[in-house]
Homo-oligomer: A and B are copies of this chain.
Amino acid sequence: MKESMENIDKPLSIGVFDSGIGGLTVVKTLRSVLKDVNIVYLGDTARVPYGTKSEETIKRFAREDAAFLIEKGVDIIVVACNTASSVALSYLKKEFNHIPIFGVVEPGVNMAIQVSRSGHIGIIGTIATIKSHAHKRILNKHGIFNVYEKPCPLFVPLAEEGLTKGDIPRLIAEYYLKGIREKVDTIILGCTHYPILIDTIKEVVGDSIHLVDPAHAVAKEVKSFLEKNNLLKKSGQPTLDLYLTDIPPHYHSLLSIFLGFTPDTIEKVNLKDISSC
């Protein structure tokens, strides 16, 4: 890892991938915490979502995503997708052991442990994320056993439709969260889409529960890693290259929901071009 990262004469380039556009919430946070990095983002919008799919398929997709970013010359990779982080991170680290790879699960868990007073922690995420028990396993390793998991599959389509306020999202949030809100003092938002619904989730669970957004946690961990390894260089005007495997009909509104602006260049790519076939 060290060899490939010495003597960098260009600004550091961080590759970020997600199953879709939701991971741009992580990009937004990375850009606010790390001013001097270039970011290459891949959203696998042709195959989104990952969260309802099998472990085997998610691993294959994640490998293709990481291979694409590596071909684009990134120095480190952030897996912004909670599903891919939960299911495929250790697999990716083995497959691509020459490059540092960060997931969003462990940073999110670490932050939850810091803020929780009672040690009773909830995790909400996609079906695949919850089924993997990735958060729970790490919490258990830290001696935390009062862990409450709940898949919330409707939150993703709600966020993508921009239906974030009012009776419908509130009823759905109540449907999912009524079983865990009485048991925990901290909930990890284990999906990049969920921060879009944070106001409704807050309304339903009440102010006394901490909501942990792993985007902030991973940005802090990446920053600390880069500082420790002296890898932060002035980049002048940091760039954001956005690659999508499909340009969906409503991508403009999605970009505005998740990123807050439309990047200069958006390129459609076919992952088959770089896969093994």
A207 to B138, CA, bound (A): 53
Residue in contact with A57 in the complex, picked from B46, B53, B54, B272, CB distance below 8 Å: B46
Q: Is residue A127 contacting chain B, with contact meaning CB distance below 8 A? A: yes
Contact string against B for A residues 28-60, beta-carbon threshold 8 Å, 1 for contact and 0 otherwise: 000000000000000001111000111011000
A153 to B275, CA, bound (A): 31
Contact string against B for A residues 142-157, beta-carbon threshold 8 Å, 1 for contact and 0 otherwise: 0000000000011011
A171 to B153, CA, bound (A): 18
Give the size range of A's interface with the partner. Answer: 20 to 34
Q: Is residue A175 contacting chain B, with contact meaning CB distance below 8 A? A: yes
Q: Is residue A158 contacting chain B, with contact meaning CB distance below 8 A? A: yes
A78 to B40, CA, bound (A): 41
Q: Looking at the complex, which of A1-9, A66-74, A100-108, A245-253 is the stretch in contact with chain B?
A: A245-253
- Contact A53 B248, CB 8 Å, known A46-B47, A171-B168, A171-B171: yes
Residue in contact with A52 in the complex, picked from B158, B250, B272, CB distance below 8 Å: B250
Q: Is residue A163 contacting chain B, with contact meaning CB distance below 8 A? A: yes
Q: How far is the CB of A99 from chain B (nearest CB, A)?
A: 25
